[in-house]
Amino acid sequence: MSEYADASFTLAVYMGVLLVSAEQDMSWAPPGKLRLRFLEWVP
């Protein structure tokens, strides 16, 4: 994560891409729960 220390917007876009990919891969999972698990660690 240190490579994104000065690029929070870039990190947000990258994480959004990963979330969409996870939602596609795990189409059986409820979207709300998946988003919660994905973003739960963010302070």
- What local confidence, expressed as pLDDT, does residue 9 receive? 87
43, pLDDT greater than 70: no
Using alpha carbons, list the distances in angstroms from residue 10 to 24, 25, 27, 29, 32: 21, 23, 26, 27, 23
pTM exceeding 0.75: no
The domain total for the chain is 1
- What local confidence, expressed as pLDDT, does residue 42 receive? 67
| Domain that includes residue 34, residue range | 2-39
pLDDT in tens, 6-38: 888 888 888 889 888 988 998 898 878 888 887
Query: If you average pLDDT over residues 36-43, what whole number do you get?
Result: 76
- Average pLDDT of the chain, as a whole number: 83
